[in-house]
Structure 1
């Protein structure tokens, strides 16, 4: 019979044994599934994997989810298994073929507080109004030292952020920024008050190459994460925006694993220094204004008064003292000896002081 039906003698005797015990019911095909599956992920762990993915609006992948659960003491499977679970639950697409990216040239300081990065980024309130955030990030640990909200990107806001950072973590040896006039006057051939304050604090001030944001890559990457957070927690006012950023900074530092830190959080790596309280902003000009210039203080919204008329400059000049020189219908605006802009004021009377 085994030869006629093309099966092994072992299989034939197994069927005969079942028939003698169970009758015809014993010949019904049986499941090949093992009685136990020790490698199968527990349902509760799968549910937690799904919950974390959904709580982060799908932005956390298998690596971060596994790192968070492992940090909570949960027995979690391999990253590939976490990915398979998310795919099986219909939350992500199947894994594509492995792609090897060119990491480019990377650098990271060996110690906390050896180098900080500072930069500003813009967001919008629920009503569409823009606001700015100045961030200060530790290069070694990626610890977000400060995230300060303001209506415009000014040197005063940058200094406020740096003061907040030093008050909790001490002074850095070096500070890195881009070449924006908020932080440096290199492009104008002058020294703006933010960099004067940095130098007065004994901090070495560095700047990235022009049109090369990769130098500030760590803080630029942090801005992407911040953008996602703001999109999920859009504030209604500046005051609420600061609360949203405070919550974000706590989450970024203590909850979100960082791939560059071997899936540790920045708080696990960062070593605080001795707190230092820096003085308030000194906005005195670094060099002399033209003789006869009338002085005005630009307000936080970038405007100043000229014979009871409100004139507007770019927001980057907010909180700066400027000198005014009248030339017929033109009004030349100076910061120190640099003519930053010329406005057409027509027949508006020129004030005496």
Structure 2
């Protein structure tokens, strides 16, 4: 029969006290406490051997389990989690292969349970899945598309904002740079891209969002001064659709890890913060396994670009039959001496070319990249101006 509901321990102590009084027989005590005689004798035997501590419930789990995780493996899992606080069970398990054989290493579920048992797993808020919006840039080879962005600014210990610029290969996830800047400006971005291009070569495309200095929302094709520099280097700038950061989701995911590692908490000043960012880049590329790469690291997958950085930009020769024009300080080109076609001030000092496609509609290029169209019939009066359009007008 089961013990009565008060607490089991209280009932056991009461049973022993009544038995020690020698006022009742075993049969009477068994009837009063609604237990069997074997249970009563077992309880008395434990009390005589171990005292009151012997009354505690024994664990029904076996002392030795054939599939029990080696304590050394458990210890290593906890050490790795302490070192890589934001990593989950899948990534930590991969690192175990550096120190143990495959037979010693538990499954991902077991690693997760070990972390959970030790209070090292934080429940994540469940996010509503959003259907992706196209175009999504999904390169098939390294250096086909690089992604770049400024991770959101955060205050350092000296109360000054840090703006980390990140540049990564979209295929291998290799992080070329996480550079701490005090301002998000063209000069800083151009300097860091130059350093990265010299070290790793250049991609075919650079994918960014629509923020400055990467893009100019009101400019033709959203091209900025940085965009035209990329074009001069033979790189095509491409942009996410406005208000759709998920189109560069793999880069945003990296930013989440960067924030957790380098901004929570942040360093005191820009130099110390840069050392933290450098450590993150080294770990992210060489240590951290990536699920999209079959648990390999970005450094194991990435291949250096065979497109070198030119120290001097070569002049561009437009095709015969194209009308070549100089972009003035106002960002416009003069058309037939009397008229103006406005392009962008970002093109000031550069040469563009136009070719007629019929019905007085002209197509305008900067080097080999199409900028837009204009219709010369819109120019009715001397000194009148028309704007370039991204579509045929």
Cα offsets for 1:303-342 (capped at 9, x unmatched) = xxxxxxxxxxxxxxxxx9xxxxxxxxxxxxxxxxx9xxxx
Contact 1:112 1:270 in 2 (8 A): yes
Contact 2:137 2:247 in 1 (8 A): no
Cα offsets for 1:107-158 (capped at 9, x unmatched) = 6322110110111122321122102111111111111012222210112222
1:180 aligns with 211
Q: 1:207 to 1:71 in 2, by over 3 A?
A: farther
Cα distance in structure 2, aligned partners of 1:95 and 1:153: 32
Offset, 1:50? 1.2
Cα distance in structure 2, aligned partners of 1:47 and 1:276: 47
1:11 aligns with none
The alignment status of 1:79 with 2:108, answered yes or no, reads yes
The alignment status of 1:39 with 2:67, answered yes or no, reads yes
- Compare relative contact order (CA 8 Å, sep 6+) and give the higher one, 1 or 2: 1
1:90 aligns with 119
Q: 1:66 to 1:117 in 2, by over 3 A?
A: same
Cα distance in structure 1, aligned partners of 2:71 and 2:122: 21
Cα offsets for 1:233-264 (capped at 9, x unmatched) = 62222222222211111011111122222222
1:108 aligns with 138
Cα offsets for 1:21-70 (capped at 9, x unmatched) = xxxx9xxx99876675331111111011112222233x222111112213
Stretches (4+) displaced over 4 A: 29-36, 71-74, 93-96, 99-107, 278-281
- Which among 55, 62, 67 is matched to residue 83 of structure 2? 55
- Which among 170, 174, 181 is matched to residue 143 of structure 1? 174
Any unmatched runs of 5+ in structure 1?
1-24, 292-319, 321-337, 339-353
1:341 aligns with none
Cα distance in structure 2, aligned partners of 1:280 and 1:133: 28
2:96 aligns with 69
Q: 1:198 to 1:54 in 2, by over 3 A?
A: same
Cα offsets for 1:156-203 (capped at 9, x unmatched) = 222223223222221101111111230122423474321111000001
Contact 1:86 1:92 in 2 (8 A): yes
Greater mean alpha carbon deviation, residues 260-269 or residues 109-118: 260-269
Contact 1:147 1:161 in 2 (8 A): no
Q: How many residues align?
A: 262
1:212 aligns with 244
Question: Residue 202 of structure 2: SS of its match in structure 1?
Answer: coil
Q: 1:270 to 1:42 in 2, by over 3 A?
A: same
Cα distance in structure 2, aligned partners of 1:91 and 1:54: 9
- Which among 289, 294, 317 is matched to residue 329 of structure 2? 289
Contact 1:166 1:275 in 2 (8 A): no
1:251 aligns with 283
The alignment status of 1:118 with 2:148, answered yes or no, reads yes
- TM-score if structure 1 supplies the norm length? 0.65
Q: 1:262 to 1:229 in 2, by over 3 A?
A: same
Contact 2:184 2:212 in 1 (8 A): no
Cα distance in structure 2, aligned partners of 1:200 and 1:95: 45
- TM-score if structure 2 supplies the norm length? 0.59
Contact 2:178 2:278 in 1 (8 A): yes
1:169 aligns with 200
Question: Residue 176 of structure 2: SS of its match in structure 1?
Answer: strand
Offset, 1:90? 2.8
Cα distance in structure 2, aligned partners of 1:251 and 1:103: 30
2:317 aligns with none
Cα distance in structure 2, aligned partners of 1:173 and 1:276: 12
Contact 1:167 1:275 in 2 (8 A): no
